[in-house]
Structure 1
Amino acid sequence: MDAKASYPQGHYHISQFDQQQLLIRNQVSLVTSLLRLTDSETPFNQINAFLKGTVTNRKLSDVTVQRLLNLRTAVAFITGSPEGFELLTVSHINDLVTAGVGLGGGELRQMSVVTRGGQTIKLPLPEQVAVQKDLLDLRLNHSDYTDRALQTVAYVLHKQLFSDGNLETAFLVGNQVLAKRGAGVLLVAEEQQMPFQQALRDFYRNADAETFCRWLYANAIVGPEELR
């Protein structure tokens, strides 16, 4: 593995088996980090306690429980199926993420007004043929899997492809790309949550995908030495 590479070269080059085991061993950490991307209110230790099945002293809301179960299912999906880089797969991941808690799961957004980064804005509606072409272009123009994963995260977030669950979907799709080539795990650690939110706000404001991808590359791609 090479953890000292420069963007856009991959941080890690591990075997497919080791990559899968890395995801399996760290499903709780990944699910926790995914929920924390959009939920800063639920305590970190409470999320971990629920996922590990231990007794907790604070009841989680039904919505939070459903979201955690959804994320756990979605992480299991990308762990067992690190193949596919097309709209059908991306839509399926979004459907898993939003089951029971979101609108239009798996369907491309059909409303032009969205809330992004705490602001309500109007965005063009994503069109199926255009999105399929964009995903093909991402695959062709970004041959390094780490670069492709991060650019795909930026693409899903910039376009807001779905009505709900774009942030979690983007990270899960990015992780699926990384998993295909044994390139580590895309995970925002608890201590990086606030810096990430700032980087995300900056990206929503200026649409500078390169800067956003570089932040993720430097701060959110982890491998065996950082994880268990």
Structure 2
Amino acid sequence: MLRGKYHLSVEQNKRLARSNLTRLVYVNSRFEGLTTTLQQTQTIIDGLGVDGVSIDDINIIIQLKRGWQYTINSDEGINLDFLKKANKIVALNESLAPGELRTGNGAVSTMKGEYIPPQVNQEQEELFLTQLLLDKNRTNTDKALTLMYHLMRNQIFWDGNKRTATLAANKIMINSGAGLINVPLDRWPKWNQLISEFYFSGDMEELKQWTYDNGIQGVEL
């Protein structure tokens, strides 16, 4: 079992997330292949345009900002409705049907080749989520990492699955004062390798442990 690294109040964790909003958006934008700098990301978050950055990329950053704000500020817990709302925000401009579960085939390009996710079964997803959140043998940090990688691999939405998974996992972290999940960019090559291997193996234990060691952020109070 992965123990909790940080023990904050919910409000302290929300403040931590707000104070790191630009960096969280900056890092998460890499899921979509963006190359904007941290300063450019801050400028866009502030509502200004940036020369050389496309409207599409600006919109991804804006929607990520809104997704993080929704995750931080909403008082609701984690459920399928939260996932749909988060996806509708972050995938607004790219998805065939933002906020709706995938009903057709999907495919993901990985370092190990193309991965074909399973068909989406709403009842199974709701059951998985309920059982995970009620599991008394897991810490909230463990639950967050398990949910994040389950959502990434199952690709339950048409687009924006990694961004949605990241927000969902961090919602659990914030609501329990456990810190934040945010893998630094200099560790993304190894992270992407582990994610690719996980997609094909279905075994997330090594990936969870690596993320626990490298991607959990917080403050000691």
TM-score strictly above 0.5:
yes
Change (3 A) 1:44 1:208: farther
Q: What's the secondary structure of 1:120's corresponding residue?
A: strand
Would the aligned equivalents of 1:82 and 1:176 in 2 still touch at CA under 8 Å?
no
- C-alpha contact (below 8 Å) 1:28/1:52 kept by paired residues: no
- Deviates most, 87-96 or 197-206: 197-206
Secondary structure of 1:188's aligned partner: coil
Q: Which among 169, 188, 194 is matched to residue 174 of structure 1?
A: 169
Question: Partner of 2:83 in structure 1?
Answer: 90
SS in 2 for 1:113: coil
Choose from 194, 197, 204 the match for 2:199: 204
In the superposition, the TM-score normalised over structure 1's length comes to 0.87
- Partner Cα distance (1:213, 1:106) in 2: 26
**Partners of 2:75 and 2:81 in 1: how far apart?**
14
Residue aligned with 1:170, SS:
helix
Q: Relative to structure 1, is the Cα distance of residues 61 and 54 closer, same or farther in structure 2, using a 3 angstrom cutoff?
A: closer
Equivalent residue, structure 1, for 2:213: 218
The equivalent of 2:57 in structure 1 is 64
Residue 165 of structure 1 pairs with residue 182 of structure 2? no
Judged with a 3 Å threshold, the aligned counterparts in structure 2 of structure 1 residues 99 and 75 are, in CA distance, closer, same or farther, namely same
In 2: Cα distance, 1:157 partner to 1:125 partner: 14
- Does structure 1 retain, via aligned residues, the 8 Å contact 2:6–2:219? no
Aligned to 1:134: 128
* Cα contact 1:83–1:176 (8 A) shared by 2: no
Q: Deviations over 1:87-134 (max 9, x none)?
A: 111111111111122221111111223224264343331111111111
Please, what TM-score do these two structures have when normalized by structure 2?
A: 0.90
Q: Does 1:29 align with 2:23?
A: yes
Which amino acid letter does the alignment assign opposite residue 39 of structure 1? G
1:51/1:75 Cα in 2 relative to 1: closer, same or farther (>3 Å)? same
How many Å apart are 1:38 and its aligned residue? 3.1
Structural RMSD (CA):
2.0
User: Equivalents in 2 of 1:17, 1:110: separation in Å?
Assistant: 38
Percent identical pairs in the alignment equals: 27
2:214 partner amino acid:
N
In structure 2, give the amino acid aligned to 1:162.
F
**Shift, 1:62, TM fit:** 1.3
d(CA) in 1 for partners of 2:147, 2:52: 35
Q: Which runs of 5+ in 1 are unaligned?
A: 1-6
Please tell me whether the aligned partners of residues 149 and 174 of structure 1 are also in contact (alpha carbons under 8 angstroms): yes
Which residues in structure 2 correspond to 1:112-151 (within 5 Å)? 112-117=105-110, 119-141=113-135, 143-151=138-146
Unaligned runs of 5+ in 2: none
Q: CA–CA distance in 1 between the matches of 2:126 and 2:115?
A: 24
